Amino acid sequence: MDPSTFTDRFERLRAEIAKAIVGQRDLVDGLLVALVARGHVLVEGAPGLGKTLVARALSHASGLSFKRVSFTPDLMPSDVTGSSLFDRQAGSFTFVEGPIFTQLLLADEINRAPAKTQSALLEAMQERQVTVDGKTHPLPPPFVVVATQNPVESQGTYPLPEAQLDRFLVKLTVTDPPPDVELAIVRRHADGFDPQHLGGLATVLGPGELDAMHASAQAVRLDDAVGRYIVDLVRRTRTDPSLELGASPRASIAMLRAAQVIAASEARDFVTPDDVKAMAKPILRHRVMLHPDAELSGVSVEDRIDEILRAAPVPRAAA
């Protein structure tokens, strides 16, 4: 795929989703980057900020099958993956697929379910398959999880295990819109917009075109100097005195994949340090953990990532 075609498809997706979502450009772009990179997304924000709507709009515009699971305290793993039921006529057990068998799964309020149910997604997110009663069932490609969560201090939430957090390519945060954007939202609803029905959105791509975009992004060139810059950023999270837990090499790979998509969306065939910087916070913010002393001092994860970005020498990328 030539660079202009990639950029055109990326812009078409962005423009179509914008018909349902007012503002939230960073959220939309983060979702598009993850979709093309075949990565999973964790979206954090208070209720009512459009987290579910943007996931539904993404599936509609990209032509992917879509299912939603509301993660509640009584949700069981089999409610997500499916289970084997006995067929009396056949005299044998038959596997009944759960809602996880879709191309885009919305795991709504994932941190309201207990850890046992959350862990049901681990194999699916890493291997794109589920194993039930010793039998493995592949999931339909590309299989992307968009999980939403309320802030961890909200009542009735459970923290996600570190191993599961690491499976998300990016963590995106949603905040209250500015007054002019909120007014635009109100006006849109006054004009008859119904968030429950997205029939007005067109399907501008299909799974085959997304596959081609994924392959094209993976072909974007990485200069050795930029590769060392990625590794340096990630390794600095492991030596930062304010961080108790640093990012793993999986974060380095995630940063590469996301930066390649950013470069391709701008019709370039090479990654620049700016592409890496653009995705540093979404890639790292859920993979690092503050030291308790730093947290008590009012330091935030975002502060530490900013400091790491300032301290790391930035190379010149060869064009």
Q: Whole-angstrom Cα distance, residue 39 to residue 33? A: 8
6-27 pLDDT, tens digit per residue, is 999 999 999 999 888 888 889 9
Q: What pLDDT was estimated at residue 73?
A: 87
Q: What pLDDT was estimated at residue 46?
A: 82
- DSSP-assigned letters across all residues of 159-221: PPPHHHHTTEEEEEE--PPPHHHHHHHHHHHHTT--TT--TTS-----HHHHHHHHHHHHTSB
Q: Whole-angstrom Cα distance, residue 42 to residue 81? A: 19
Where does a domain end: 170, 190, 210? 190
Q: What pLDDT was estimated at residue 152?
A: 61
Task: Name the DSSP class of 242.
Answer: T
Residues 172 and 232 in one domain: no
Residues 226 and 154 in one domain: no
Choose among 175, 148, 147: nearest CA to 302.
175
Question: How distant is the alpha carbon of residue 121 from its chain centre?
Answer: 14
Q: What is the CATH number of the domain that holds 297?
A: 1.10.8.80
Amino acid at 51: K
Residue 283 has pLDDT above 90, yes or no: yes
Residues 244 and 137 in one domain: no
Residue 151 has pLDDT above 90, yes or no: no
Residue 317 has pLDDT above 70, yes or no: no
Residues 173 and 78 in one domain: yes
| 148 within a domain of the structure (yes/no) | yes
Q: What pLDDT was estimated at residue 156?
A: 64
- Angle at which helix 25-37 crosses helix 51-62, to 10 degrees, equals 50
Residues 225 and 170 in one domain: no
Q: What are the start-end ranges of the H helices in 82-171?
A: 115-118, 122-127, 162-165
| 212 within a domain of the structure (yes/no) | no
Residues 168 and 300 in one domain: no
Q: What is the CA radius of gyration of the chain?
A: 20
Q: What is the CATH number of the domain that holds 5?
A: 3.40.50.300
Residue 42 lies in domain:
1-190
Half-sphere exposure of 36 (CA within 13 A, CB side): 33
Q: How confident is the model at residue 155 (pLDDT cuts 50, 70, 90)?
A: low
Q: What pLDDT was estimated at residue 181?
A: 87
Where does a domain end: 190, 207, 236? 190
Specify the pTM: 0.90
Choose among 91, 108, 100, 93: nearest CA to 41.
108
Tokens 């997205």 belong to which residue?
198
Residue 266 has pLDDT above 90, yes or no: yes
| 215 within a domain of the structure (yes/no) | no
Q: What pLDDT was estimated at residue 58?
A: 92
> What integer best gives the mean pLDDT of the chain?
89
Q: Report CA dihedral (170, 175, 177, 179) to the nearest 10 degrees.
A: -150
Residue 284 has pLDDT above 90, yes or no: yes
| 46 within a domain of the structure (yes/no) | yes
- Cβ pair 170, 34 in contact under 8 A: yes
Number of domains within the chain? 2
Choose among 3, 42, 61: nearest CA to 161.
42
Residues 186 and 289 in one domain: no
Residue 258 has pLDDT above 70, yes or no: yes
Residues 180 and 228 in one domain: no
- Cβ pair 222, 317 in contact under 8 A: no
Residues 28 and 173 in one domain: yes
Q: What pLDDT was estimated at residue 197?
A: 74
How are beta strands 129-132 and 135-138 bridged, if at all? antiparallel
Q: What pLDDT was estimated at residue 100?
A: 94
